[in-house]
């Protein structure tokens, strides 16, 4: 991969968009590398994933405008579909994904962060969907995920008016979970990832499935789904280990994902 780096740190996988000179802007080549990295994650060895951008200026500053400027309608449709497919792969990963947003997250960068389960931001992070000012719509899920995350009114304001918001406002409206000094962001992201990885992997994955699927259902269907996912955890080695330890008032053994 030319534009994406992948590191395995114990049970945490770290994906870095590495096109720093172009502020990590997305084009088809970057999307292809990102897809390769995501598809290559070993689900047996990885309990949480962090996605970030190279350098200190940008997470992903958007899609490559130079590449988009000459696209025909058919090429635009294919590019949007490609980005949407990759971001859905991220969203549907069985383990939680944390976006460590280390600067500009505009356009496709904001959309990439929205495909993750949790967003942590550096103090210099900026979020926005500038597409309408460039004669296009958000094309990688922004019209859908932003409204589901910050509410319809705020999403429409950001998209229609192409209004960027800084980290503090992103925290206030619920777009990010926490804001940290830039030099502490990856450390804090790793702490959270390791805390997640320290819990029973089967249970965490079933929790993710329950939340993500349930949000797309009516409450009756969602609460009918929950017992099935609860049952899938019962009888696992990790469940027996943890509950026996709790009853015996001792610390449980490390979870083994079985």
Beta partners for 180?
122
Nearest to 124 by CA among 108, 101, 154: 101
Whether residue 151 contacts residue 120, with contact meaning beta carbons closer than 8 Å, is answered with no
Q: Check whether residue 44 and residue 74 sit in a common domain.
A: yes
Tracing tokens 């409204």 back to the chain, one arrives at 147
Residues making up the chain, counted from first to last: 258
Q: Check whether residue 118 and residue 65 sit in a common domain.
A: yes
Q: Check whether residue 42 and residue 88 sit in a common domain.
A: yes
Q: What is the CATH number of the domain that holds 218?
A: 1.10.12.10
Q: Check whether residue 174 and residue 217 sit in a common domain.
A: no
Q: Check whether residue 9 and residue 108 sit in a common domain.
A: yes
253 domain residue, yes or no:
no
- For the chain, how many structural domains are there in total? 2
What does the block give as tokens for 190?
A: 């790793």
233 domain residue, yes or no:
yes
- Domain final position from 177, 197, 217: 197
Q: Which domain holds residue 53?
A: 4-197
Q: Check whether residue 98 and residue 211 sit in a common domain.
A: no
252 domain residue, yes or no:
no
Whether residue 226 contacts residue 203, with contact meaning beta carbons closer than 8 Å, is answered with no
Measured CA to CA, the distance from residue 52 to residue 125 in angstroms comes to: 12
Q: Check whether residue 131 and residue 232 sit in a common domain.
A: no
99 domain residue, yes or no:
yes
Q: Check whether residue 62 and residue 93 sit in a common domain.
A: yes
- Domain final position from 180, 197, 214: 197
Q: Check whether residue 127 and residue 164 sit in a common domain.
A: yes
Q: Check whether residue 130 and residue 225 sit in a common domain.
A: no
CB burial readout 199-238, b (16+ within 10 A) else e: bbbbbbbbbbbbeeebeeeeeeeeeeeeeebeeebeebeb
Q: Check whether residue 71 and residue 193 sit in a common domain.
A: yes
Q: What is the CATH number of the domain that holds 169?
A: 3.90.226.10
Helix axes 201-214, 219-233, angle to 10 degrees: 170
Q: Check whether residue 59 and residue 168 sit in a common domain.
A: yes
257 domain residue, yes or no:
no
pLDDT in tens, the chain (258 residues): 899 999 999 999 999 999 999 999 999 999 999 999 999 999 999 999 999 999 999 999 998 898 899 999 999 999 999 999 999 999 999 999 999 999 999 999 999 999 999 999 999 999 999 999 999 999 999 999 999 999 999 999 999 999 999 999 999 999 999 999 999 999 999 999 999 999 999 999 999 999 999 999 999 999 999 999 999 999 999 999 999 999 999 999 999 999
Whether residue 226 contacts residue 206, with contact meaning beta carbons closer than 8 Å, is answered with no
Catalytic residue IDs:
111, 131
- Domain final position from 159, 182, 197: 197
């Amino acid at each position: 991969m030319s534009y994406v780096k992948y590191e395995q740190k114990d049970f945490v996988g770290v994906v870095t968009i590495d096109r720093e000179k172009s502020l990590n802007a997305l084009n088809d080549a970057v999307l292809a590398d990102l897809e390769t990295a995501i598809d290559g994650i070993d689900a047996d060895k990885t309990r949480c994933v962090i996605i970030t951008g190279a350098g200190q200026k940008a997470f992903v500053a958007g899609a490559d405008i130079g590449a988009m400027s000459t696209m025909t309608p058919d090429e635009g449709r294919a590019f949007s579909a490609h980005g949407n497919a990759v971001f859905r792969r991220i969203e549907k990963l069985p383990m939680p994904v944390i976006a460590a947003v280390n600067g500009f997250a505009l356009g496709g960068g904001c959309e990439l962060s929205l495909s993750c389960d949790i967003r942590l931001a550096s103090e210099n992070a900026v979020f926005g969907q500038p597409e309408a000012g460039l004669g296009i719509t958000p094309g990688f899920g922004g019209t859908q995920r932003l409204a589901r995350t910050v509410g319809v009114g705020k999403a429409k304001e950001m998209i229609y008016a192409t209004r960027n918001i800084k980290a503090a406002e992103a925290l206030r409206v619920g777009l990010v979970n926490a804001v940290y000094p830039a030099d502490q962001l990856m450390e804090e992201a790793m702490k959270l990832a390791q805390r997640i990885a320290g819990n029973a992997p089967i249970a965490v994955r079933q929790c993710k499935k329950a939340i993500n699927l349930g949000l797309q259902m009516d409450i009756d269907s969602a609460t009918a789904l929950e017992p099935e996912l609860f049952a899938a955890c019962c009888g696992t080695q990790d469940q027996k280990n943890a509950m026996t330890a709790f009853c015996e008032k001792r610390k449980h053994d490390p979870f083994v994902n079985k």
